[in-house]
Amino acid sequence: MIGAIAVFVVAYILMLTFAKYRPYIALGGALIFIVTGMLSFSNIFGAIDFNVLLMIAGTMGIVALFIESKMPELLADLIMEKVPNVMWAAVAMSLFAGVISAFVDNVATVLMVAPVALEICKKLKTNPVPFIIAIAVSSNLQGAATLVGDTTAIMLGSALDMSFMDFFWYKGRPSIFFAVELGAVLSALILAWLFRKEKSPIPKVGERTVVTDYVPSYLLLGAIILLILASFIPNKPSITNGLICCALLVVGLIYNFLKNKTLSSVISPLKEIDFETIGLLIGLFLMIGGISEQGVIKAVANLLAKAGGGNIFFLYTVIVWASVGISAFIDNIPYVATMMPVIAGLATALNVDPTVLYFGLLSGATLGGNCTPVGASANITGIAILRREGYTVKNSDFFKIGIPFTLAAIVPAYIYLWIMYGI
């Protein structure tokens, strides 16, 4: 266990220190886990979340067609007509991403919204780095708002046998959706404060951009609708969302080929798939699988549970804030999966309603990923998009948005959930 922790910690320190080499560091760390036997060969494929990888690949290809159609430029024109300055453009884009992310996976949301933000920044001649970071952290926040917002929300719904509407009203009280939205309002104010110096007026657009092809937009809209509908299918394959995105990409490529009659019309969108990001995620999934196999995550979960003792409020507090800290560095899915049975056992032993503990786990684990550049797949994806545009994201760039955003979102949710379900 000590060896697994050492490799994991060193790899994360190196990834934070040498941002340009993150994919190679992550894959190198994963290789160490495999070669040393800390991650057994039989668990390699099980540790990798192929659903996320397929979603990224499929959506990136569709987004390439979407950008080529000039729809992001038109959406940028429409948004610029409605906001007075750069500050409100940034806030509007983050809120827009949050609304979509309440119903669609966070990574897919970033891939869909980022091109619009990039077009706005190009038109305004401003740095897109804080815009994309704001979009990524907003997407992570809203993942806990509904049953279909994120994998961890689906896991919670399954554990408590919650329906879609239970996320809005549960046991006769306003549910976790309102805790998330309360945090969203305060975090939007934080973003407004962080962008307070960006008061440059939005120039008049003049003539709006003309969209050359609406089919890629229909494909993206279709992806959103199908991802929402798929969330209601019981016992579906774990890679359903990824297959949806890839299938729509294939449709888009076939359409593009029939329209242009050139092989480049198929190859060009495929070149836009960021294989460095996919490599980084594979490395992270394998390292997390390794520390999970070595019992690190389970040991941490048990330590948290013991720290709470028999005091429910103290236990709730420990779960929320420890989940924030742990999820800043590891994927929240294996952590939440490990903690759920621990919480169930605690509730049985203490003879208490586990609702507040479950909600605290979900809110803390979902928002913790916003603290670091590698804390969530949406963050990694956003940074990858910026890298492809020629921008380097420093750790300080991310921390100055991610940390205050996280605090603004988690503090009101922490108080709200205790008042509603703890007292």
CA atoms within 13 A on the CB side of 180: 30
Residue 207 is given by DSSP the state S
Report pTM.
0.70
Q: Which of 341, 321, 356, 371 is nearest to 140 (CA)?
A: 371
The answer, yes or no, to whether residue 205 has pLDDT greater than 70, is no
Q: pLDDT by residue (tens digit) across 307-342?
A: 666 678 888 998 899 889 888 877 676 677 667 767
Rounded-to-integer distance, Cα 33 and Cα 37, Å: 6
Q: Poorest-confidence range of 25-39, 91-105, 316-330? A: 91-105
The answer, yes or no, to whether residue 304 has pLDDT greater than 70, is no
Instruction: Sort 215 into a burial class: Cβ within 10 Å, 0-12 / 13-18 / 19+.
Output: middle
Q: pLDDT by residue (tens digit) across 107-142?
A: 777 887 888 888 888 888 888 999 899 999 998 888
Rounded-to-integer distance, Cα 400 and Cα 422, Å: 32
**Mean pLDDT computed over 184-211:** 82
Counting residues of the chain whose pLDDT is more than 90, the rounded percentage is 10
Q: What 3-state class would DSSP assign to 201?
A: strand
- pLDDT at position 334, please? 63
- Segment holding 88, helix H or strand E: helix 86-101
Q: Which tokens sit at 153?
A: 């929300």
User: What is the DSSP secondary-structure string of 175-194?
Assistant: -HHHHHHHHHHHHHHHHHHH
Q: pLDDT by residue (tens digit) across 350-402?
A: 777 888 999 999 999 888 888 888 777 788 888 888 988 888 888 888 998 98
Rounded-to-integer distance, Cα 414 and Cα 406, Å: 12
Partners of 173 in beta bridges: 170
Q: Which of 76, 57, 13 is nearest to 281 (CA)?
A: 57
Rounded-to-integer distance, Cα 134 and Cα 121, Å: 13
- Cα 313–chain centre separation: 28
Angle between helices 106-124 and 377-388 (to 10 degrees): 30
pLDDT, mean over the chain: 83
Long-range contacts of 355-358 (CB under 8 A, 24+ apart): 355/160, 355/170, 355/171, 355/421, 356/312, 356/316, 356/417, 356/418, 356/420, 356/421, 356/422, 357/312, 357/315, 357/316, 357/319, 358/156, 358/159, 358/160
